[in-house]
Amino acid sequence: MTGLTDRQRDIIQVAIRIISRKGIQELTIRNLARDLGITEPAIYRHFQSKSDILAAMLEYLHRDTIAIFDQVQDGESALDRLRDYFSRLFERLRENPATAAVVFSDEAFMNDDRLAATVRALVELTIDNTTNLLTLARENGEIRADVDEYDLATMLAGGVRLLVRRWHMSGNGWDLAAQGRSVIETFVKLVEVPR
Amino acid sequence: MTGLTDRQRDIIQVAIRIISRKGIQELTIRNLARDLGITEPAIYRHFQSKSDILAAMLEYLHRDTIAIFDQVQDGESALDRLRDYFSRLFERLRENPATAAVVFSDEAFMNDDRLAATVRALVELTIDNTTNLLTLARENGEIRADVDEYDLATMLAGGVRLLVRRWHMSGNGWDLAAQGRSVIETFVKLVEVPR
Amino acid sequence: MTGLTDRQRDIIQVAIRIISRKGIQELTIRNLARDLGITEPAIYRHFQSKSDILAAMLEYLHRDTIAIFDQVQDGESALDRLRDYFSRLFERLRENPATAAVVFSDEAFMNDDRLAATVRALVELTIDNTTNLLTLARENGEIRADVDEYDLATMLAGGVRLLVRRWHMSGNGWDLAAQGRSVIETFVKLVEVPR
Amino acid sequence: MTGLTDRQRDIIQVAIRIISRKGIQELTIRNLARDLGITEPAIYRHFQSKSDILAAMLEYLHRDTIAIFDQVQDGESALDRLRDYFSRLFERLRENPATAAVVFSDEAFMNDDRLAATVRALVELTIDNTTNLLTLARENGEIRADVDEYDLATMLAGGVRLLVRRWHMSGNGWDLAAQGRSVIETFVKLVEVPR
DNA sequence: AATGAATGAGACTTCATTCAT
DNA sequence: CATGAATGAAGTCTCATTCAT
């Protein structure tokens, strides 16, 4: 399905963990090999280059984020689907906090055009998903029509991003989902059209 | 004034430019020396270590951000001061787009405790400033009192952050101030109490 | 046995040779690599740091010195064993003159606590061995009892040390064993109890 | 007399102190300048090179050692003069412990032929002085005639050297003069002809 | 698949020394 | 006499990657 072997998946998981715990500067082939319990050249059996590992890692996160969006139920109101979407994002982060770090390591990918494009797409994905749901909400008359949707998406996605960033920097020391829900509900309160 | 020599200021400016254009991974003593037109050891006359260069750079940005907040006029309404504050931030970024990059390179500072703390403080500073102005706005009755201020600050600061980030990633290809004003006004429209 | 790979032994041997010929200041990773016919990074496959190379070298010499002492026969008189011990030390130095230099490079190890302790132990080892044999000799009634053993050990070990040092500084230009025997016999003549 | 300016003497004193406290590896122009409270280029007003500083330092110590020997009284017996000579050496070391370190940094001078020769001469000087006094003592019938004087000188000078070395390595933690006297007296007891 | 050994490039940093002022 | 600024050489060490086995 994903075109990845078991070993490749191992490598990606360990890479994500290293980035999460020590930062992307510590993601070296040496450290990767050590944590995997194999030698450095062995890694090159599974990926042609370090850049390929990072690309596969980003692609994996991309797919995962798409999958989360796809899981969001159809039947609900657009605002409920928005709530559902972010709940699932928070859920994934709680289960696998390491993924958060990768998204904030984007600067590290600047040198490699392919990686830069991929991580950019990853960031845009959440914004696009958010924008689409907001557009739907407006069409449904669930939210006020006198404000720019794109600005709303920027604030919501940006706010959540900032929240996750601080949660990560705090060492995941508090309940992201609770804080996240609070932000989402505040947002809804601001934009919702009273029925 | 800032306790920096001319040459130290040169070095910091060039460092910021390198980070902006190529990313922090390219900020090496070698590249720094090359862009300054001197040899690598010469840099060590002006800073004891690379870490000291980064620390001075962050401190400079910190001071600058504080100065911007201090310039915000007293007499206006809290919301106007909020507008003023972000306008000035956008203005600085337009004049010196390089500074944007540094704030998003935070991951790169993780390994150095001193730097990590400084960059964290830099991020918190904008959030704190925003929160304080929002608190004032509520006390003045300018904004609705039925929503959590901290959530509002998260959305506003996070939204602006995301906007700046995308502007930087796009190669500063569009008018940040205009887009930024739009986000701010949308935010104001959401929270403002009609008179 | 010693826990060292062949390549590690190579490196230690070359290191000892460099110290012997050019002094410890010339023992750089670069010179080591050049003499080994490999590149500098290759050395780090075999030792984690330069300090580790020096530590392994000192440990090797320590073991070697212990082994020499252990080879000294049991059956003889204490004075004969003393003669035997120093003969073997001189023999080793003739076979591997490089080892002499290391013992006189102690100052160079001052900055590294671990190395300083190891080289100090190496120096003390010969003094201790000498003292122990002298104590035995007195208990056997082989030497006069009216003089301080520790002073005797200091003179004997110090005299031999000085001799070796001068032999090394002269470029090993004369017969160390012969001169050494002369010193030992002079010492014995001074302390021996006539039968 | 010595052909040194005041400033040159300052530099030499500070150099000796650095060698004593931190080892010769720490004797850099930078550290020298810092401890002197001047800049690095300023040192080159007073000495043409670092090697010249070391040469002047060794020459100073050489002169000093000669002066000590010259102070030894003429009227006494040769053995008393020997006692006197070493007492004065110990006295100098107590007053200026730093000088001890220099003599044991000889390995560091290996690369520079001029320095190597100077430090070699310094070591030989004490041995020669000792040998000369022992020769005199034998001519006076003060010591036994059946042992090689040169071997005796080796043991005495070597023993004292080892003592000083250990005193230095212990951080000058005990009374060198007392221990030294003990060694000297033990030596005298061994070689003295009873009257 | 995996390993041991190696490599070229480059990282940060220190060294003794020079030169214009 | 002294300084500020700089330099060429060299230091230890890490990086991603390759290759023969």
Whether the per-residue pLDDT at D113 is higher than 90: the answer is no
Highest mean pLDDT among A89-93, A115-119, D18-22: A89-93
DSSP character string of D67-110: HHHHHS-SSS-HHHHHHHHHHHHHHHHHH-THHHHHHTTGGGGT
Cross-chain residue pair C161–D162, CB shorter than 8 Å = yes
Cross-chain residue pair C25–D151, CB shorter than 8 Å = no
Whether the per-residue pLDDT at D2 is higher than 70: the answer is no
Whether the per-residue pLDDT at A43 is higher than 90: the answer is yes
> What does pLDDT average to over chain D?
92
Across A92-114, average pLDDT? 84
Contact call for A and D: 3+ CB–CB distances under 8 Å: no
Distance CA B47, CA C70 (A): 56
Sign of CA dihedral B168, B169, B171, B172: negative
- Specify the 3-state DSSP secondary structure of C52: helix
Q: Are B140 and B78 in contact (CB under 8 A)?
A: yes
Minimal CA separation from B3 to chain A, in Å: 30
Residue D153's pLDDT is what? Answer: 97
Task: Tell me the pLDDT tens digit for each residue of C62-112.
Answer: 999 999 999 997 778 999 999 999 999 999 999 888 888 887 777 778 888
Q: How confident is the model at residue D195 (pLDDT cuts 50, 70, 90)?
A: low
Whether the per-residue pLDDT at D1 is higher than 80: the answer is no
Q: Which nucleotides of F are covered by protein (CB under 7 A)?
A: 1-20
Instruction: Tell me which chain C residues have a C-beta less than 8 angstroms from the C-beta of D127.
Output: 162
Structure tokens at C172: 């090993």
Residue A102's pLDDT is what? Answer: 82
Contact of B125 with chain A, judged by CB distance below 8 Å, is answered with no
Across C159-176, average pLDDT? 92
Interacting residues of A20 by C-beta distance below 8 A, sequence separation 6+: A97, A98, A99, A100, A101, A102, A168
Distance CA B72, CA B84 (A): 6
Instruction: Tell me which chain D residues have a C-beta less than 8 angstroms from the C-beta of C191.
Output: 190
CA-wise closest residue to D115 among D183, D62, D191: D62
Cross-chain residue pair D155–C152, CB shorter than 8 Å = no
Whether the per-residue pLDDT at A2 is higher than 80: the answer is no
Distance CA B174, CA D7 (A): 65
Q: Are D100 and D161 in contact (CB under 8 A)?
A: no
* Fold that domain C6-191 belongs to in CATH: Tetracycline Repressor; domain 2 (1.10.357)
Whether the per-residue pLDDT at C195 is higher than 70: the answer is no
In the structure, how far is the CA atom of residue C136 from the C1' atom of nucleotide F7, in angstroms? 63
Task: Tell me the pLDDT tens digit for each residue of D84-96.
Answer: 999 999 999 998 8
* Sites in chain B below the pLDDT cut of 50: 1
User: Cα angle at D162 between D161 and D165, to 5 degrees?
Assistant: 85
Nucleotide nearest to C44 (CA to C1'): F13
Distance CA A7, CA C15 (A): 42
- C153, C190, D97, D132, D192 from D82: Cα distances, Å: 20, 18, 21, 10, 12
The structural domains of chain B, with segments of one domain joined by +, span 50-191
Residue C27's pLDDT is what? Answer: 95
> What does pLDDT average to over chain A?
92
Q: What is the CATH number of domain B50-191?
A: 1.10.357.10
Cβ neighbours of B127 (radius 10 Å) = 18
Looking up tokens 């290293």 gives: A18
In the structure, how far is the CA atom of residue A31 from the C1' atom of nucleotide E6, in angstroms? 19
Nearest beta carbon to residue D107 from set C23, C161, C166: C23
- As a whole number of angstroms, the longest Cα–Cα distance in chain C is 64
Distance CA B138, CA B78 (A): 9
> What does pLDDT average to over chain C?
92
Alpha helices in chain D (DSSP H): 6-22, 29-36, 40-43, 50-71, 78-95, 98-103, 113-139, 149-169, 176-191
Q: Which of residues 15-54 of B touch A (CB under 8 A)?
A: 22-26
In the structure, how far is the CA atom of residue C38 from the C1' atom of nucleotide F19, in angstroms? 16
Task: Tell me the pLDDT tens digit for each residue of B129-177.
Answer: 999 999 999 999 999 999 999 999 999 999 999 999 999 888 889 999 9
Residue length, chain D?
195
In words, the CATH class of domain A59-191 is mainly alpha
Residue B1's pLDDT is what? Answer: 47
Preferred mutation among D19, D24, D27, D155 to probe C, highest tally of C CBs within 10 A: D155
Of the two residues D104 and B157, the one the predictor is more confident about is: B157
